[in-house]
Amino acid sequence: MLQVAAIREQTHTILEGLRKRNFKDGETLVREVLENDQRRRDTQKVLDELKAKSNADAKKIGELMKSGQSAEATSLRAAVAADKENLKSLETSLEGFEKRQLELLYKIPNIPHANVPAGTGADDNVTVYQHGTVPTLPADAQPHWELIKKYDIIDFDLGTKIAGAGFPVYKGKGARLQRALINFFLDEAVSLGYREIQPPIVVNEDSGYGTGQLPDKEGQMYFVNEDGLYLIPTAEVPITNLYRDVILGDNDLPVKNAGYTPCFRREAGSWGAHVRGLNRLHQFDKVEIVQIRKPEESYEALETMCAHVQGLLEKLELPYRKLLLCGGDMGFGSAMTYDMEVFSAAQQRWLEVSSVSNFETFQANRLKLRYKSKEGKTQLLHTLNGSALALPRIVAAILENNQTPEGIRIPKVLVPYTGFELIS
């Protein structure tokens, strides 16, 4: 979340950033934050002054008693008792202002980096790089939802039978391809210095608030009511929350973690060919990379994380493009996001397979994640994460782009992991 001091001292800049996001409630929420903050500070000032007076009076009571001025001491004791009641009332008011401040701040998204383009949606995103040749398929080429039936490798009907729509069953070489991709992605991350983490796939409410999924995406998350737990929408949530309420030292940085988890998203109300088959699921597998960096290092780290994702796509022999998202298309907590999209030849469309984001201090402020420098100064860190990679659309592109009369060719880099070269 944004820092109140920043909203107070850089109000114009904050409002401009919210307008770049096309965030309609920005002016109202910022005004409420500032008004609530002023009331909180006024109350804190009165509280501090009354507390100092009460402490001084309490000390004076003893002096009056020693000097034989018992009547004056009794009168002052009554005044101190009254002050204590007023202090309780002021503390209650202060707690109310602080609670309301959090409620307001949780509703305000992050401010886009200066280099983020203005725009209202996906059409305003900027292609900054494109790699590979889009394959030309024969006229009888099939989309992946037909290929998976032909080769009996993924079964949506069985998934619907045992769970519901959006929960596919992977079978035979389809399951082995999934496992191969997961192991390949993890091995590549570890080779670049990421530490592998296997986190829980459910999180509590504090974790959801810590990384910004709550309250923003509460309706998109599966909730286990009896236990107050949420199924994770991405490994970013538990992995980043490992550092909630933590103060790191210079020697602890940078933090580079990677983890594989299943991910769960309700994605309610999605219909049409653009979400058919593997294009959008309620449960899917993903390897996530997470970094925690000093502020002055975070944008260089963002580029290295993108390069890592791009390297995976090139090794998989998939044509892709790198997009810089505009203000109106970024996630709630992001200051800058790059999306990677692969071209799905049978569908003749680009599919998003990765988002790599820098949150700057937005998550760290929620998490109370800080570092203490060698000089003893304590400040908030920057958090970053990226999909490296999400599997469903990668699988869709591999199946469609590599279909041949003999079967589906497996990218060479995956053959040591799958143990086969062809799905036939």
Pairing of strands 408-409, 422-423: antiparallel
**Known binding residues:** 234, 265-267, 288, 352-355, 385
Please answer whether residues 360 and 335 qualify as being in contact, where contact means their C-beta atoms are separated by less than 8 angstroms: yes
Helix residue ranges per DSSP H, 163-241 = 173-191, 205-211, 236-241
Pairing of strands 202-203, 229-231: antiparallel
**Known binding residues for ATP:** 265-267, 352-355
**Known binding residues for L-serine:** 234, 265, 288, 385
Residue pLDDT tens, the chain, 424 long: 999 999 999 999 999 999 999 999 999 999 999 999 999 999 999 999 999 998 898 888 888 888 888 888 888 888 888 989 999 999 999 999 999 999 999 999 999 999 999 999 999 999 999 999 999 999 899 999 999 999 999 999 999 999 999 999 999 999 999 999 999 999 999 999 999 999 999 999 999 999 999 998 888 999 999 999 999 999 999 999 999 999 999 999 999 999 999 999 986 545 555 678 999 999 999 999 999 999 999 999 999 999 999 999 999 999 999 999 999 999 999 999 999 999 999 999 999 999 999 999 999 999 999 999 888 899 999 999 999 999 999 999 999 999 999 999 999 999 999 999 999 9
In the sheet that 247-249 helps form, which strands lie side by side, from edge to edge?
A: 247-249, 370-372, 378-380
Please give the pLDDT value at position 128.
98
Please give the pLDDT value at position 278.
96
Please answer whether residues 288 and 235 qualify as being in contact, where contact means their C-beta atoms are separated by less than 8 angstroms: yes
Four-residue CA torsion sign, 323, 326, 327, 332: negative
Give domain limits for the chain: 4-105, 122-423
Please answer whether residues 114 and 323 qualify as being in contact, where contact means their C-beta atoms are separated by less than 8 angstroms: no
Please give the pLDDT value at position 65.
81
Please answer whether residues 179 and 170 qualify as being in contact, where contact means their C-beta atoms are separated by less than 8 angstroms: no
Q: Does domain 122-423 have CATH number 1.10.3720.10?
A: no
Query: pTM here?
Result: 0.93
Domain spanning 4-105: CATH superfamily: Serine-tRNA synthetase, tRNA binding domain (1.10.287.40)
Alpha carbons 20 and 117: distance in angstroms, whole number: 8
Please give the pLDDT value at position 67.
86
DSSP 55: H
Per DSSP, the residues of 305-359 read HHHHHHHHHHHTT--EEEEEPPGGGS-TT-SEEEEEEEEETTTTEEEEEEEEEEE
What are residue 254's phi and psi, to 5 degrees? -75, 155
Residue type, 161: K
